[in-house]
Amino acid sequence: MNQKWDNRYKDQEFAYGKEPNVFFKEWLQKFEPGSILMPADGEGRNGVFAAKLGWKVTSFDLSIEGQSKAIQLAKENHVILDYVVGNLEQLKFQRETFDTIGLIYAHFSAEKKSAFHKKLNDYLKEGGIIILEAFSKNHIPLRKLNPKVGGPNDIDMLYSKEEIIADFKNYEIIVLKEEEILLNEGKYHIGKGSVIRFVARKLANTD
């Protein structure tokens, strides 16, 4: 898996562009800057945007090539990212470290997805915000029509509203919707996709 992403990110061109995800950009600006964790931050477009707003950003990804591109992008924008490379199992922070978590197209295998969400819940402070956009389980027919829109072929790696509710139980839901949108993010997210969009506030510590 690391090799796949290293191959994608080693090109000079930014695979998903340099601009932040539209939904992430819209919602992050509604909150006061603090500390934010960006798992699967790839080439850093979303982490760099957060840093430009004054957030203290910790980015995380499998790919060392992604890290290199993210550091390059951060320098271009005169900001700093704390960027960690490794597998999600290696992700270790103190409980309640972050004010916000941004999960933008962070797709994981079915057997790891819920466990990773639980780990992220532990890292988020009470009252903290999660912002998520990812492909929904209804995305596969759209991907077959237009492979350029990207996303996993494995339906178990895709999201449903029911999964989100189950994985983030003790949250005040601000936004939870599934919709079809037109993506224009670099060369790997082009065209119509079906996505889940989720913004919520952690109400209390949960086990």
pLDDT > 60? residue 207? no
When pLDDT is cut at 50, 70 and 90, the band that residue 1 belongs to is low
Q: Which residue has the tokens 């890290």?
A: 67
Per the domain annotation, does 8 fall within a domain? yes
Segment 149-177 mean pLDDT: 95
- Gap between the Cα atoms of 67 and 1, Å rounded: 15
At 144, which CATH number? Answer: 3.40.50.150
- Whether residue 193 lies inside any domain: the answer is no
User: Which range marks the domain in which residue 50 is found?
Assistant: 2-188
Mean pLDDT estimate for the chain? 94
Q: Quote the DSSP letter at residue 136.
A: B
Name the helix (H) or strand (E) containing 6: helix 2-9
* In a domain? residue 170: yes
Q: How far apart are CA 161 and CA 126, in angstroms?
A: 22
Rounded CA separation 88/175 (Å): 26
Q: Residue 96's Cα: distance from chain center in Å?
A: 19
Q: For residue 195, is it within any domain?
A: no
Per the domain annotation, does 6 fall within a domain?
A: yes
Asked, for residue 204, whether it belongs to a domain, the answer is no
In a domain, 105, yes or no: yes
> Is residue 120 pLDDT above 50, yes or no?
yes
> Would you say residue 81 lies in a domain?
yes
Q: What's the first-to-final CA gap in the chain, in angstroms? A: 30
Question: Tens of pLDDT along 75-93?
Answer: 999 999 999 998 877 778 9
Q: Domain count of the chain?
A: 1
CA distance 132 to 116: 14
* E strands present in the chain: 35-39, 56-61, 82-85, 98-104, 124-135, 171-185, 189-202
Least confident of 43-57, 84-98, 137-151: 84-98
